[in-house]
Chain A
Amino acid sequence: MREFIDGAEAIVRGALKSGCNFFAGYPITPATPILLKMLRELPRVGGVGIQGEDEIASIGMCIGAAMTGMKTMTATSGPGISLYSENIGMAIMGEVPLVVVDVMRLGPATGGATTVSQGDVQFLRWVTSGGFPIITLCPSSLADCYTLTQRAFNLAEEFRAPVFIATDKEMIIAQQSVETDAFEDLEIVNRARASTDSAFVPHHAKKLADVPAFAPIGGAQLTRLTTSMHDEHGMLTKKPSNVNRTSRHLYQKIEAHRDELEFVKLDAQEGARTLVVAYGISARSAIEAVQLARAAGKRVSMLTIQSLWPLPEQSLRAALRGNVVAPVEPGEESRSFVSRVGPPSITRVIVPELNFGQYRLEIERVALLFDSRLEVIGVNRVDGELIEPEEISQLVI
């Protein structure tokens, strides 16, 4: 079935399909369409949608609602993420499942409200104080908007943590014809509920990297959470062994599961000397660039990144090695890489992005450790225009 829709619509459909039943947000271009659609749809499906008095209130309401067991989402743009910052930390500390959409706009402060950008990539990685890991997904198609939103809900539930969807103005408000029947639905994951047989300990994790079971406020067991450093009972603590355990738990519950958090699409060509690594709206220019280069007889590989954070290092190294991602069976969780070619052929890596090279920094780190002779080149635009495919294809060797 072909429809003419935008990314806001695809994200909203993905969210509702995931069972999202609470949304609070504050209007800001270009994220407003998500707010409008969620507030229209939620009361029709038994959920709650509300416009907060500001971004701080909006994310605060989401966090409160999430602790009663609701599946919550909010959406904003850069200025709103600035105001979310402290509460993102609250959600990390309190182990609160939450999906946050950032529809990026250009520049600092109010910036260019209707100007496409990918300038928040590192901002999202380090969005709050303390330096803890965060999961960030990034769609580059309407199908991605739909499925990665479901993925974001699944990960938020599974890891009891805030999960970002980093997107941009073009993805959200440009209308596109699309086969909506072909959208992929994921199996819905809901947070593990605590057993009611034994005494409930709100932050009890058997192993550091385990995610505690959940009991909702208003349910059969009493629960508590806190913005402050706490022990497993959710009580304030300064005892070094407790502090250490909580810090490491919040770190390890993401870091130890990095394998499960790598979502990429690798289109490798044997003998390719150039690898293009791209994400979001720029990946669309990159895919066209790869088509152009191949049409001109060049060999080139392309890695589209769907999970920006944690950095999918394993996939990146596999792509540099010239490997090909083995097809993943439906329902199969981890992905393996099968070596196809002999010695690595890649000598040049191109990273196109609508910022000064924020993700290139990460690619460089991994690529140069892999082989210090690799050449990593950025194609960067900060003029509010999309990267033209030719700007990338002309760099393919």
Chain B
Amino acid sequence: MEQKLSDSTIATYRFPDRKYTFCPGCSHSLVLDHLNAALVKMQLDPRQVVIVTDIGCVGMSDQFFDVNAFHGLHGRAVTYASGIKLANPDLKVIVLMGDGGVGIGGHHVLNAARRNIGITVLVFNNFNFGMTGGEHSVTTPHGARTTTTRGGNLERPLDVCATVAVNGASYVFRGTAFDKELPERIAEAIQTPGFALLDIWELCTAYYVPGNDFSRAALMQTMQGLNFPAGVLQKVDSPELANAYRETITNRQSPISAAHHIAQKYDSALTKTTRVILAGAAGGKVRSTASALAVGGMMSGLWATQRDDYPVSVMSGYSVSEVILSRDEILYMGIDKPDILAVLTPEGSSQVPRQLRAMDEAQTVYVVPDLAQHVQTRARKIVFNFGRAAPSKKSLALTATAAIVQHANLYPLAAFREAISAGQRAEIAQENLKAVEASEGIL
């Protein structure tokens, strides 16, 4: 792999001593000659060119070219090509894949077109899997005989061009391996900033040709029969993804998100590790309240952990948060027997029967009046006394937790106040503080 000098003309991008290994008459050789002609025409620096091949007979193609080469998994060539292009948008990335690869990796082809990422895809479309023995592919015409459709194909062939065209490809061409214009079209495609695809119809002389009495003339007849148009089918100028992304990089230079230091300002009288569970409902600020409970503890010199549990549908159902406060670093984060359990709503209540059973006289359950009868436990039961104005759904967890912080003497209420307002928008902080004030006298 000698380095080419860019100031002298490059006569070929192929290794002179590496002959094609395809079957006699296989169109893959023709298309690769056209690709070489296109590269010669463009005189690209080989170091700026990458050929990414898929699997199949076509997958051997990169080995004939003296440029950067990447031979990847079946159907996935477009993904590697996309990664290369995103990493280095200046490169010319050329994918060579078969109709088999388009089948198994169709999702990637479709999405590359949709993203308009600037890679060029050459589909070596010979209507069957050459390498594995002539099985049918997604482009096998209706009625065609292959080793897996012996009685004639019952399925309809995929229109690769129409699919990528309708999904945003910048350049789309359909032709055959025998087209004289191919080098020019391939060059045009490589020069297109966005996604370009050429669907090149071919002869597989080992399987599809003998199996279907197929020929060069039959290629065109099949195309016409299917009403699949040939030539340049789409040419649009729309923003290319890798370059568009690169612009967002340079436009947004700013430091990494800063660390969020929680300094100790208060003192907690807590001596023993205290495990707290808040059992409430979605939309009740249970998680943010738990977070404030933990952060308030940290502001008071404690260590803290928080685990949240909620259904996949985050906006409905239960919301249960566990907080551990300790003088020492916390390793085991589970809570089998909480020291404090706040039962706030029926949804929350339904999630904690196991914990209620495990608790005994040394622990405390705080419960809202409506659920007081409902809660069966040996633990000390304390019912919130809301008076006439029970807290709203949104402030219940905050009000109840503020009351518990004081009642259980976890740490100064000022720390909790500070924790619930830190980093919040003014009106939210105001709302939160009001909820805390409402905790006065409820326990």
Contacts and interface: CB of A to CB of B under 8 A. Distances in A.
A64 B331 contact: no
Interface string A206-228: 00000000000111111111111
Contacts of A199: 1-2
- Secondary structure dominating the interface of A: mixed
B68 A223 contact: yes
Interface stretch (A173-181, A246-254, A256-264, A306-314): A173-181
Contacts of A153: none
Contacts of A53: 107-108, 111
B93 to A, nearest CB: 9
B248 A2 contact: no
B307 A174 contact: yes
B133 interface: no
Contacts of B191: none
Interface in B353-370: none
Given A44-B252, A222-B46, A226-B71, A87 B76 contact: yes
Interface string B95-107: 0000000000001
Contacts of A46: 249, 253
Contact of A222 (B55, B67, B81, B291): B67
B86 A43 contact: no
A48 interface: yes
A285 interface: yes
Interface centre among B63, B68, B262, B305 (most CB of A within 10 A): B68
Contacts of A276: none
B40 interface: no
B83 A64 contact: yes
A43 to B, nearest CB: 5
Interface stretch (A99-107, A266-274, A360-368, A384-392): A384-392
A54 B104 CA distance: 14
A52 B55 CA distance: 21
B255 interface: yes
Contact of A2 (B253, B256, B261): B261
Contacts of B91: 68, 217-218
A224 B305 contact: no
Nearest to B67: A222
A325 interface: no
A56 interface: yes
Interface stretch (B170-178, B332-340, B408-416): B332-340
A377 interface: no
Query: What class of interface size applies to chain A in its complex with B?
Result: 35 or more
A243 to B, nearest CB: 16
Interface string A81-100: 00000110010000000000
B83 A285 contact: no
A113 interface: yes
B253 A44 contact: yes
B83 A65 contact: yes
B260 interface: yes
Interface in B174-230: none
Interface centre among A54, A227, A388 (most CB of B within 10 A): A227
Nearest to A284: B331
Contact of B256 (A44, A228, A285): A44
B82 A64 contact: yes
Given A60-B72, A177-B294, A285-B331, A220 B3 contact: yes
A233 B18 CA distance: 14
Contacts of A2: 261-264, 298
Q: Which 10 A-B pairs have the closest CB atoms?
A: A64-B83, A60-B79, A61-B83, A64-B80, A224-B69, A65-B87, A226-B71, A284-B331, A386-B334, A65-B83
Given A199-B2, A222-B47, 19 more contacts: A2-B261, A2-B264, A43-B245, A46-B249, A53-B107, A56-B108, A64-B80, A65-B83, A68-B84, A176-B304, A220-B47, A221-B3, A224-B69, A224-B71, A228-B59, A233-B1, A285-B332, A288-B332, A386-B334
Interface of A: 1-5, 13, 16, 22, 24, 40-41, 43-48, 50, 52-54, 56-57, 59-70, 86-87, 90, 113-114, 170, 173-177, 180, 199-200, 217-228, 233-236, 284-285, 287-288, 385-386, 388-389
27 contacts: A1-B259, A1-B261, A3-B260, A4-B304, A40-B257, A43-B248, A44-B252, A44-B253, A44-B255, A50-B86, A54-B107, A57-B79, A60-B76, A60-B108, A62-B83, A64-B82, A67-B84, A68-B87, A90-B72, A90-B73, A222-B66, A224-B62, A226-B71, A227-B71, A227-B73, A285-B332, A288-B331
